[in-house]
Amino acid sequence: MTTTLSFIIVLGLLITAHELGHFLMAKALGIGVERFSIGFPPKMIGFTRGETEYCISWIPLGGYVKLKGEGPDEVVEDPDDPALFSTRPPLQRAAVILAGPVMNLIFAFVIMPVHFMVGTSVPSYFDKPPVTGWVEPGSPADAAGIVPGDLVLSVNGEPAGTWEKLFEKLSLAEGGSLTLEVRGRAGDRSFDLDLSSAEEGRIGIQPPLEPAIGGLTPGYPAEKAGVQKGDKVLSLGQVPVSHWSEMARIIHASAGKTMTLKVLRGEEEVSLTVTPVLDEKTGRGLMGITPQTETVVRRFPVGEAMAKGFERNVELLGLTFSFIRDLVMGRSSISNMGGPIMIFQVSGQAARAGLAEFLWFLSFLSLQLGVLNLFPIPVLDGGHLVFLTAEGILRRPLELRTREIAQRVGFFLLILLILVISYNDILRLFGGR
């Protein structure tokens, strides 16, 4: 129920913001608006005020603003009526079309600061100096010679400062290598890391994280063996462990193997017998445990929240355009995109995580919707802008037949894109990807 309700709220707010942009610009320019609809027909409920019918329709995958004289073949009583959309110069019509995506961007830049004012829950180590707690064997960091206890000073010459800043800089690092300046037992040293075989932003170092049990999955081996929340793992299969990832690595490689798990429970050491089960999706062993992590809530005053909200949205826009560029150049895959099913799932997850996370997701999605609608595909706002650009160059509207063919092709491409993305969502949902 939470997921369904949050999905409806997310779509409703995003669609309303988008269509409100078209509506307000049309009204400001004196263009008649016949209908303002949230959702596509058939109509659910509505009312009329002045010349405009306001309604909510049954199909919640979009909305529309019906402008007076909008269709090129629309029959009108007075062809010279100044309230007709079709009689306006191309720049005014472009302003009405562009106002929808722009309103989505404005909405995102309004919501994101509220996210920072409400407060976000983050791991307590985020604000601490990036002292390495664990180095993954075989990772770029391990190959370079970085060891636990090393303090990362900078990434490509830019100060790291905290774990949060370090993660941000690693996620934005481009190219097949990067340079870390590290302070360790041998003093300050510079390491060149080869990232050619590493996942984006993952160099193989992690913050300190004790192997303490924060949660148990019902029915899994850990619960059946008698493991309790708060237990601190001392050894697994006779191998001493001091970091969660170190323990997880052993578990992942031990599916079906019975081993001794020694934990510290209060002041008492307890030995248990546990057999990790094979997870068919990942091919790894699982015990059904989650780490015990300390979190803090960050809240920012209005001025700082506005600055951080602006900065975060600009960063997200940059990442969005980078993804589009990589998609066009073949460096990224359409399988990384999410559609209605993913939005449905993540809406529920964000709502259950709290208001701050829900607002972040809403802002992020509004940015994506604003950018997506600017794609030069007929039936999207970007496609209409292409028509207007052609009209400005030719100094006459495109022929009706040409526009109809382009609209049909654009509609086909859009439906095809939605089907492919939905197929990806289904694969992710059932573990096929």
Dump pLDDT digits (tens) for 217-240: 999 999 999 999 999 999 998 899
Distance (Å) of CA 62 to CA 11, 16, 80, 210: 8, 9, 31, 47
Whether the pLDDT of residue 109 is over 90: the answer is yes
Encoding tokens for residue 197? 């075989």
Strand partners, 151: 131, 183
Most confident of 69-83, 183-197, 319-333, 396-410: 183-197
Which domains, and CATH codes, for the chain?
A: 2-116+365-429 (no CATH), 126-206 (2.30.42.10), 213-294 (2.30.42.10)
Strand ordering across the sheet containing 259-265: 239-240, 232-236, 259-265, 268-274
| Amino acid 134: pLDDT | 92
| Amino acid 139: pLDDT | 87
Give the pLDDT band of residue 211 (cuts 50, 70, 90). very high
Whether the pLDDT of residue 430 is over 60: the answer is yes
| Amino acid 77: pLDDT | 65
Residues 6+ apart with CB under 8 A from 30: 82, 83
Element (H, E) at 177: strand 177-184
φ and ψ at residue 321, rounded to 5 degrees: -65, -30
Whether the pLDDT of residue 110 is over 90: the answer is yes
Residues 6+ apart with CB under 8 A from 247: 211, 233, 236, 241
Strand partners, 120: 298
Q: What integer is the mean pLDDT of 200-227?
A: 89
Beta 120-123 vs 295-298: how paired, if at all? antiparallel
Question: Taking a C-beta distance cutoff of 8 angstroms, is the pair 52, 33 a contact?
Answer: yes
On the 0-12 / 13-18 / 19+ scale of CB atoms within 10 A, 211 is: buried
Question: Taking a C-beta distance cutoff of 8 angstroms, is the pair 264, 230 a contact?
Answer: no
User: How many Å from the N-terminal Cα to the C-terminal Cα in the chain?
Assistant: 26
In whole angstroms, give the CA distance from residue 328 to residue 382: 17
Residue type, 248: A
| Amino acid 384: pLDDT | 84
Q: Report the percentage of the chain scoring pLDDT > 70.
A: 93
| Amino acid 229: pLDDT | 93
The full 3-state SS of 373-429, as one line of letters, equals CCCCCCCCHHHHHHHHHHHHHHCCCCCHHHHHHHHHHHHHHHHHHHHHHHHHHHHHH
Q: What is the pLDDT of residues 342-400, one digit of tens each?
A: 888 888 888 887 888 899 999 999 999 999 888 888 778 888 888 888 888 888 877 77
Average pLDDT, the chain: 86
Distance (Å) of CA 146 to CA 45, 71, 136, 327: 64, 65, 10, 34
| Amino acid 295: pLDDT | 86
Q: What is the pLDDT of residues 298-328, one digit of tens each?
A: 899 999 999 999 998 998 888 888 878 877 7
Q: What is the pLDDT of residues 268-296, one digit of tens each?
A: 999 999 999 998 878 899 999 999 988 88
Whether the pLDDT of residue 31 is over 70: the answer is yes
Whether the pLDDT of residue 201 is over 90: the answer is no
In whole angstroms, give the CA distance from residue 154 to residue 139: 19
pTM assigned to the model = 0.71
Q: Is 199 known to be catalytic?
A: no
Q: Which entry of 19, 70, 181, 357 is annotated as an active-site residue?
A: 19
Q: Report the percentage of the chain scoring pLDDT > 90.
A: 43
Whether the pLDDT of residue 50 is over 80: the answer is yes
Whether the pLDDT of residue 429 is over 70: the answer is no
Q: What is the pLDDT of residues 115-168, one digit of tens each?
A: 999 988 888 899 899 999 999 998 888 888 899 999 999 988 888 889 988 888
Residue carrying the six token digits 């890391």: 193
Whether the pLDDT of residue 174 is over 70: the answer is no
Residue carrying the six token digits 């005014």: 92
Tell which residue, 318, 364, 295, has the closest CA to residue 168: 318
On the 0-12 / 13-18 / 19+ scale of CB atoms within 10 A, 280 is: exposed
| Amino acid 173: pLDDT | 65
